[in-house]
Amino acid sequence: MNERMVSGLAALRSRSRAPRADELKGVPWLAVLEPAHARRVLDDLRVVEVQAGEVVCRVGRAPSFWLGVLDGLLKMSNDTALGIPITFTGIPPGGWFGEGTLLKREPYRYNILALRRSLVAGLTVGTFDWLLDHSFAFNRFVMLQLNERLGQFIGAREIDRLTQPDQRVARSLAALFHPTLYPGVGRLLRITQHELGYLVGLSRQRVNRSLTTLQAQGVIVVEYGGVRVLDLQRLRLYGAQGQTPS
């Protein structure tokens, strides 16, 4: 971890500000809250712009916020016992994370790194706990988050065992188009081939070949600065037994 990464942790809170009205549209759970609960959130919510390479969360650090991505792209990762980095998932717009860590009151077991300039929102632990105590709708949202994330990480273990690059790229892309965990993505994910290579563990050149294959099969369309999904179900099942590209 370089010096810029470590020093950035202390600077994030001092650089934060209240969110603008247009930025609140990127907080998917805000709309389900009762007015009194929403007012508590609006008084507490902060946003901060982070640059590529800055660390938002670090292994061993105690959490003080529940965090979400309003714009940009983050990477959740850690190092193995041998010092080899392992990527768990990418976090695109609309994704909120760390609720399990807050509920268990334990230090982070992963690093969150900005792959590009990103806008990150934070809700303090105190307000997070208060919502759990007072809002049925918020509890339901968090429960759904935890359930969907469990399925996501089971899928990530399966992806880790895939040796066919096109499969790895397809399944990893599909995970980033998750409509519940990442509702801000829609059908177009703003991501470069270099960034996707970081998340998948492949070179940019190999990612490019896989994207070309997937596009030729009508599963995705590669656009300037991003990838548009045409058939999410085929992308999720790409290369599975009994599933053949059409």
What is the pLDDT at residue 89? 86
- The class of domain 3-154 in CATH terms is mainly beta
d(CA 46, CA 128): 13
Whether residue 32 contacts residue 81, with contact meaning beta carbons closer than 8 Å, is answered with no
Low-confidence ranges of the chain (pLDDT < 70): 1-11, 79-85, 156-162, 240-246
What is the pLDDT at residue 3? 38
What is the pLDDT at residue 244? 43
What is the pLDDT at residue 151? 81
Rounded to the nearest angstrom, the gap between the alpha carbon of residue 168 and the centroid of all alpha carbons in its chain is: 18
d(CA 240, CA 244): 8
Tens of pLDDT, residues 188-246: 999 999 999 988 888 999 999 999 999 999 999 999 889 999 999 999 888 765 454 54
The CATH number corresponding to 164-236 among 1.10.443.10, 3.40.30.10, 3.50.30.20, 1.10.10.10 equals: 1.10.10.10
d(CA 75, CA 66): 16
Q: Where are the domains of the chain?
A: 3-154, 164-236
Rounded to the nearest angstrom, the gap between the alpha carbon of residue 99 and the centroid of all alpha carbons in its chain is: 13
Residues composing the chain: 246
What is the pLDDT at residue 2? 42
d(CA 20, CA 1): 32
d(CA 40, CA 62): 23
Whether residue 177 contacts residue 148, with contact meaning beta carbons closer than 8 Å, is answered with no
What is the pLDDT at residue 160? 65
Start-to-end CA span in the chain (Å): 43
Whether residue 107 contacts residue 61, with contact meaning beta carbons closer than 8 Å, is answered with yes
What is the pLDDT at residue 34? 97
What is the pLDDT at residue 7? 41
* CB neighbourhood size of 192 (10 A): 16
Say which amino acid occupies 98.
Answer: G
Rounded to the nearest angstrom, the gap between the alpha carbon of residue 43 and the centroid of all alpha carbons in its chain is: 25
Strands 74-79 and 111-114: antiparallel
Whether residue 12 contacts residue 64, with contact meaning beta carbons closer than 8 Å, is answered with no
Q: Identical fold at 3-154 and 164-236? A: no
